[in-house]
Structure 1
Amino acid sequence: MTNHLPSVSEAKAQAKRLRAKMNEEGTTVGHGQSLELIAQQFGFRDWNAMLAAIGNKPPRDWEVGAQVSGSYLGHAFSAQITSLTRLQPGWFRLQLELDEPVDVVASEHFSNFRKRIRGVVGPKGHSVERTSNGRPHLQIDL
């Protein structure tokens, strides 16, 4: 087995690229089979064994009390994690206590400062929800 294992999302992306390449070359491969092939490349008997070895831990050892930085509604922040819940592999619900409040309103006529925020982030550290300009509501630096 390799000492450096990819994250779950990286391994799935590798399987997707492998499947596309093999299908392009005339060998039809399903999603499950491509996952199995990637696992075997890393020395595992199957995808489930590789998934167990990778684990479903938060990125960079996130834990309650840890400091993180990122952006919320386009505003940079640094914060402490006050709550962390694993929802499914690679997806986490975070509650953050910001070091400095951020204004979540774009209007010049009034403000709404937030000191605490909650959100769900995926394997790439950002939320699914997006602002009107396409930016994730919540982005945690990985």
Structure 2
Amino acid sequence: MQRNTTIPPLATLKDQARRLRADLTARGHDTTHAQALEMLAHQMGLRDWNTLAALAGRTNAPTPLTLGARITGRYLGHDVAGTVLAIAAHGGLTRLTIKLDEPVDVVRFDSFSSLRRRITVSLNDDGETPQRTSDGQPHFVRMAA
């Protein structure tokens, strides 16, 4: 199912869900507000209301990923930008190989460093890695283009 590219504001979505519930109730189908919210999300091609609500809150949602696309984000605490070299579906995640514009030091020790020019990350639907650093931050978080 294709996702809509334009997501209305949250207030508009909630109003649509209220109207949907009222219409269904008038036709003899008792529906809760939560069920109407979920139906609205499914109608828009999304897996659930939480996903739709999160997208509605974004004023600058990231563009779809394609080979050669520009991508910006935060990798191991560093702001990075680069070009997507490879994309693959991997265990429910999107696996990307990114060629960075500027190398990034992935070591936090003063005694040595390790610069990376390419990184491979697996992103969930929220644009971040499920893997976390010891302080709880995702290894990579995609920023809006």
Give the TM-score band, short-chain normalised: 0.5 to 0.7
* Matching of residue 70 in structure 1 with residue 109 in structure 2: no
**Residue 119 of structure 1: aligned partner:** 121
SS in 1 for 2:45: helix
Pick closer, same or farther for the CA change 1:38–1:111 going to 2, 3 Å.
same
1:28-43 superposed matches below 5 A = 34=35, 37-38=36-37, 40-41=39-40
Equivalent residue number for residue 83 of structure 1: 86
Write the distance in 2 (CA, Å) between the matches of 1:79 and 1:3: 24
Letter in 2 for 1:106: R
- Structure 1, gaps ≥5 residues long: 15-28, 53-58
Across the two proteins, how many residue pairs are aligned to each other? 108
Cα drift, residue 97 of structure 1: 0.3
Q: Quote how far apart the aligned CAs of 1:5 are.
A: 4.3
Q: TM-score, normalised by structure 1?
A: 0.61
Where structure 2 has 5 or more consecutive residues not aligned to the other structure, the ranges are 15-31, 47-61
Task: Evaluate the alpha carbon distance shift between residue 73 and residue 40 of structure 1 in structure 2; reply closer, same or farther with a 3 A threshold.
Answer: closer
Correspondence 1:51 to 2:45: yes
Q: Under a length normalisation based on structure 2, what TM-score does the superposition of the two structures give? A: 0.60
Shift of 1:72: 0.9
1:15-44 CA deviation, whole Å, 9 max, x = no partner?
xxxxxxxxxxxxxx7xxx83xx335447xx
Structure 1 pair 111–60 and aligned structure 2 pair: CA distance change class (3 A):
same
**Retained in 2: the 8 A contact 1:39–1:50?**
no
How far residue 61 of structure 1 moved from its aligned partner, in angstroms, is 2.1
Percent pairwise identity: 31
